């Protein structure tokens, strides 16, 4: 029984190692595979930071503008 479990564990380890080695081999052939996605994520982060800074600087003016809109439209 122990031998069967050991062989099953060994077989699983071999399969996982081969799968990982295959993935690494593919990534080495295409080193820029994820650069487009990373570029988009970095642009989204930069835009989020800029919007956050602008919102922080003009917080009072934006709040006053939003309050004037709700009063003008009659919401409350």
Per-residue model confidence (pLDDT) at position 37: 80
Per-residue model confidence (pLDDT) at position 24: 86
- 63 token code pair: 């709040």
- 33 token code pair: 């595979």
Domain boundaries, the chain: 1-33, 35-76
pTM exceeding the 0.75 threshold for the entire prediction: no
One DSSP character per residue, 54-70 reads HHHHTHHHHHHHHHHHH
User: Digits of tens for pLDDT over the chain (76 positions)?
Assistant: 557 777 788 888 889 899 999 988 887 777 665 677 888 899 999 999 999 998 888 888 888 888 887 655 666 5
């Amino acid at each position: 029984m122990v031998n069967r479990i050991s062989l099953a564990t060994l077989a699983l380890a071999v399969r996982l190692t081969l799968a990982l080695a295959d993935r690494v081999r593919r990534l080495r052939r295409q080193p820029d595979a994820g650069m487009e996605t990373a570029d988009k994520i970095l642009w989204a982060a930069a835009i989020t930071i800029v919007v956050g800074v602008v919102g922080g600087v003009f917080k009072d003016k934006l709040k006053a503008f939003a309050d004037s809109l709700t009063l003008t439209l009659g919401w409350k």
